[in-house]
Amino acid sequence: MRGPQRPGDAAPPGMAKRRKWLTAQRAGAAANVGFFSEPGRPDRERAQVAEFLRYLGVPFTTDDLRLPPQDHDVDVRFGEACFQNLELMDPGRRRHDEVRAFAEQVRAGNFETPRPPESVPMSMTELMARVVAALGAKKRARLSRRAHLDALVYVNLHDRHLDPVPAVLHDVTAAGRLGWRSVSALWPPLAIVFCAAATAPAFLREHAGRAVRYHGYPWEHRKP
């Protein structure tokens, strides 16, 4: 067994690769802190809509995703679509706090995490109820023009997964009653369009009442 490293010693086999990996992990964690900060808001808003469009198979470029002024009731415009974004999280969780805590953990070289509890299935009915409640809790100022807005809810719930995943949604009455032009959710790898009014953009109307699973992740195409 080799003794402790002395200054100037060559790294043992695999050590250089691990150092490179640690550097990349720390850089990625630091980038996430910036992404979820207020200055990172434009990229964050675009990213949510971009992922949703990708899942639905709608072609776009970054330039197609336009951000109005921050005090506007539209977060991202894409053609005729006027998305107002929202993130659905477990009560008491704060995304930026979690990201900063993880970045500090990575900086300290601590990659030990407790084993997560077993994921609990969630029905489409429960998901829609959670989405409806989250949208109903938005500030009144953000709801005044909802008949002309497309709500997009990013689902970020710990230890939950959608099961079963119906190809067709049979009862979306609760979402339709909210008065938005369309109501959708993004729960990777799923894009769900609960409802879309006749005035909604065509790509939303085409997917209304459907859940679409995205199969574009690289690891899904690796040979066994």
In DSSP notation, 156-195 reads E-TTEEE-S--SB----HHHHTT--SEEEEEETTEEEEEE
How far CA 67 is from CA of 13, 41, 43, 86, 153, in Å, comes to: 49, 10, 10, 15, 17
Can you give the pTM of this predicted structure? 0.76
Separation between Cα atoms, residue 61 and residue 155, nearest integer Å: 24
Residue 5 included in any domain = no
- Which residue range forms the structural domain that includes residue 58? 50-92+117-221
Number of domains composing the chain? 1
Residue 172 included in any domain = yes
CATH of the domain at 172: 3.40.1540.10
Summarize pLDDT for 38-71 with one digit per residue, the tens.
Answer: 565 888 899 999 999 999 999 999 999 999 987 6
Separation between Cα atoms, residue 191 and residue 176, nearest integer Å: 17
Residue 208 included in any domain = yes
Separation between Cα atoms, residue 119 and residue 180, nearest integer Å: 31
Residue 41 included in any domain = no
Summarize pLDDT for 126-156 with one digit per residue, the tens.
Answer: 999 999 999 988 766 567 789 999 999 999 9
Residue 64 included in any domain = yes
Separation between Cα atoms, residue 43 and residue 35, nearest integer Å: 7
* Plot region of 209 (φ>0 → left; ψ -120 to 50 → alpha; else → beta): left
| Tokens 């900086």 sit on residue | 107
Residue 2 included in any domain = no
How far CA 44 is from CA of 30, 32, 48, 52, 53, in Å, comes to: 15, 10, 7, 13, 15
* 133 φ, ψ (degrees, to nearest 5): -65, -40
Summarize pLDDT for 74-125 with one digit per residue, the tens.
Answer: 999 999 999 999 999 888 766 656 556 665 666 666 666 666 678 999 999 9
Residue 99 included in any domain = no
Residue 85 included in any domain = yes
Instruction: At 47, list the tokens.
Output: 């990213």
At residue 40, the 3 state secondary structure works out as helix
Q: How high does pLDDT run on average in the chain?
A: 81
